[in-house]
Each structure stands twice: as C-alpha cells, then as structure tokens.
Amino acid sequence: GAVVSQHPSWVICKSGTSVKIECRSLDFQATTMFWYRQFPKQSLMLMATSNEGSKATYEQGVEKDKFLINHASLTLSTLTVTSAHPEDSSFYICSAKDRVGDQPQHFGDGTRLSIL
C-alpha cells in the first residue's frame, strides 16, 4: 500500500532555532501534500496545502513566514518551523494524495516537536 515517510519522528531544540520536517511519498507520486498540526487530545488542524512546483496554500490564521513549505518534487514536501518558540511545540503530521485516480490521503507517522 501507499506509504508516507515523515522524518524526524522526534525533535527537541532550543528556542529560536529553525526546524525542518520532511514528508516523502515512498511508492507513489503526490502533486499535493498536506501539513497538519495536532495538540494533545485534540483533532487535526490543517495548516497548509503543499502543491508541487507552486506556492503552498495556507489556512486562515497560519503564519506563512513562520511555517515555510517547499514541495520541490512529486515525492517530497518539507515544513520548516522558523525561529521556533515553546508555543510551536506540537505534533505535526503530513499526508499525501496519489496523483493518479481518486485516492484517499495517506498519512505519515508524525513529528513530535518540543521547543525548550
């Protein structure tokens, strides 16, 4: 089946640093990938839609300069949390949709980000 690999799974870093999270579709091509944020014991909140070869589409209230998204190929999207602060600590999950056919989104295993 379709596999989405997300890396790293855990990140702990100091306040003010930037953190990059990768999302790869391993056995399919994805023109569209999605980035979600999930707070403890809550549902997923869509942050942005990542489109291969074009700018990402951000949801209302999500700072595009804080959360930089790059989708340079059909199998890779990256989310960079710039100048991270403790309030950015969260569980970030990506998903990807196969470009072929009417396929559901397939999710990565998430990245736990902790900013000290």
Q: State the minimum distance, in angstroms, from the CB of residue 24 to another protein.
A: 13
Min separation Cβ 34 and another protein, Å: 8
Of 11-19, 62-70, 77-85, 103-111, which segment contacts another protein by CB under 8 A?
103-111
Handedness of CA 77, 81, 87, 91 (dihedral sign): positive
Cα Rg of the chain (Å, integer): 13
Strands 19-25 and 76-81: antiparallel
Contacts of 72 (CB under 8 A, 6+ apart): 52, 53, 78
User: In this structure, what are the phi and psi dihedrals at residue 23, rounded to the nearest 5 degrees?
Assistant: -135, 120
DSSP code for 100: S
Among 7, 22, 49, 82, binds another protein (CB under 8 A): 49
Task: Out of 4, 19, 81, 113, name the contact with another protein by CB under 8 A.
Answer: 4
By CB under 8 A, is residue 28 in contact with another protein?
Answer: no
Number of residues located near another protein, criterion CB under 8 A:
22
Q: Which residues bind another protein (CB under 8 A)?
A: 4, 6, 32, 34, 42-44, 46, 49, 91, 93, 95, 97, 102, 104-110, 112
